[in-house]
Structure 1
Amino acid sequence: MAYASPSGEFKRDQRYIPTRITADGRDGYPVEPGRYRLIVSRACPWANRAIIVRRLLGLEEVLSMGVAGPTHDKRSWTFDLDPDGRDPVLGIERLQEAYFARFPEYDKGITVPAMVDIPSGQVVTNDFAQITIDLSLEWTKYQRAGAPALYPASLREQIDKVNRFVFADVNNGVYRAGFAGTQQAYEQAYERLFDRLDELSSRLEDQRYLVGDTITEADVRLFTTLVRFDAVYHNHFKCNRNKLSEMPVLWAYARDLFQTPGFGDTIDFVDIKRHYYLVHREINPTGIVPAGPDLRNWLSPHGREALGGRPFGEGTPPGPPREPVPAGHGAA
């Protein structure tokens, strides 16, 4: 959920359900294999983070995933990709049913990602930032052998710092530009976004990843915005100083991650475009979904391996995806 302030500035409703699923179950929801279902939409950048982290950590066998369709109305995400329009595990048509099962008077955003308790059918949390951290720190008992350390204690302070400004200026920054209610609010968001992208370009010019020499939570969070940039944000949200493909360092960095197992193989460009161009009718009244851009350049050589670094640190890459995106929806 979001709203525009009197000045026309986009404001994101960040009142998420703070309940956590932890190893010790201190909030009443202990980590248990098979108990929870991660509900996502491949269209959503916030949910895409959880899809990537779950795959990198190898949690597919213990944490099932339900995929909502790319479009929704004011009543929430629907499971229209499933044959009978119902999630096959939870048996619900709309994600809001899981929210209302726990909070009958729920008045905040019904968002993805959401963790749902399968036995009760109740939502546990939709706190997207905490979900991925907890997958790293609380689900360690069930992670695959060779799972990477995405949020290592030695780098945590640096990761948190990067995550704060990437969220404010980039992840949320594209929305601040796209949903601005005045010219002034739009131009302020636009400048703030590209100033930050320029800073990130400088940071990444001589280092392969955002923090340290391995992939961390920080890279996951930046990637899900960058991968949507040319397909959506450049045009739809008027973030059009440059395309990502015209920013050499960030373009190479994004391609490096895209070609890393666990990243690009989670990206559904068809669903991404359908979501933004069909749902945001106040921005795109016709509902016409662009045919482009050409996606084959995502697989072109990036040259970032020359900077060194070890993508998975002491770990190993995940195996082939168990839940691949539909044929024709990726970059291949």
Structure 2
Amino acid sequence: MGSYVAKTGEFTRDTDYISTRITADGRDGYPVEAGRYRLIVARACPWANRAIIVRRLLGLEKVMSIGFCGPTHDERSWTFDLDPDGVDPVLKIPRLRDAYFKRFPGYPKGITVPAIVDIPSGEVVTNDFAQMTLDFSTEWTAYHRDGAPQLYPEPLRAQIDEVNERVYREINNGVYQCGFAGSQQAYDDAYERLFSALDWVSERLAAQRYLVGYTITEADIRLFTTLVRFDAVYHGHFKCNRCKLTEMPVLWAYARDLFQTPGFGDTVDFVQIKRHYYLVHSDINPTGIVPKGPDLAGWLTAHGREALGGKPFGNGTPPGPPPENERVPAGHSV
């Protein structure tokens, strides 16, 4: 996916994404416009899961369509194998790579999700997942639903950015640095950084319901998509095994609180998550066996986090149920 393991064994993610932005003023040539763009995701991918959640919380479903790739892919590209005949019904392409190549012939880097495609031209606009969700909050405000939450409120942006930076470096990406480490020392170092950071967010969340402020923000969404995959994948597959999420009381309660919030748990597909990691990473799991566990029933148990105060959506309201054609398949979640 455009990343590599150094000679000393450290996994390094290539973060040189397509930096084009879709903005209200259209300064990069792509103005915010209803119906023009298609968000391409895979439910398996934590980076894409963020975009799915933010789009849903802000109510952008009616102005930005969504296309789902299957949970597995080959070296060349994510594919639309969930769609009839394996072709995206809007873009009319079988591989996400086709949209990348349409704009950048022979694009040499990883074909990643989430990606936003310009429907009229069939060209990829951006795959910069970190900027993408911030732009949903700040550039697409004209199309936010009534009652949409403030996920990136101006007074808290510096604090959110600071939290996000460490969460990304040591947790979101940290699990990968454990899983893809090419030496014992690189793994040991990544493991220590990961669990030190998990202890740090746990301490922070012991006395407050959300990471920054009194409502759900972008920071919570970014941490959630790693936590929700922790026991199903990262604990065993990536050797992040000091303890399971269910053995970290504060983070387990926090993750359940978010999971039970509309827009979070209803975007999570555990079947696809496990199929992706255990089948695609054949270097880590050469047998291709997908584990049956863990038991997911605990995700719906009481979490008690309401006692800390805070309002999930501030003065806003929860999103309604997901559109019929965007629901996680029956049996794929809790």
Name the aligned partner's letter for residue 182 of structure 1: S
Partner of 1:35: 36
Partner of 1:249: 250
**After the TM superposition, which residues 1-332 of structure 1 pair with which residues of structure 2 at under 5 Å, given as runs?**
1-322=2-323, 323-331=326-334
The RMSD of aligned alpha carbons is 0.4
Residues 234-270 of structure 1, C-alpha deviation per residue, up to 9 Å, x if partnerless? 0000000000000000000000000000000000000
Name the aligned partner's letter for residue 189 of structure 2: Q
What is the deviation of 1:37? 0.1
CA distance in 2 between counterparts of 1:76 and 1:295 reads: 30
Residues 61-113 of structure 1, C-alpha deviation per residue, up to 9 Å, x if partnerless? 00000000000011110000001100000000000000000000211111000
| Number of equivalent positions | 331
Match of 2:66, SS state, is strand
Match of 1:311, SS state, is coil
TM-score, normalisation: structure 1: 0.99
* Percentage identity across paired residues of the two chains: 76
Name the aligned partner's letter for residue 24 of structure 1: D
Greater shift in the superposed pair: 214-223 or 102-111: 102-111
What is the deviation of 1:23? 0.4
Match of 1:76, SS state, is coil
Q: Tell me which stretches of 4 or more aligned residues in structure 1 moved more than 6 Å.
A: none
What is the deviation of 1:293? 0.5
Q: For structure 1, which runs of at least 5 residues remain unmatched after alignment?
A: none
CA distance in 1 between counterparts of 2:119 and 2:273 reads: 27
Name the aligned partner's letter for residue 297 of structure 2: R
CA distance in 1 between counterparts of 2:85 and 2:317 reads: 38
Match of 2:20, SS state, is coil
Q: For structure 2, which runs of at least 5 residues remain unmatched after alignment?
A: none
Match of 1:40, SS state, is strand
What is the deviation of 1:233? 0.1
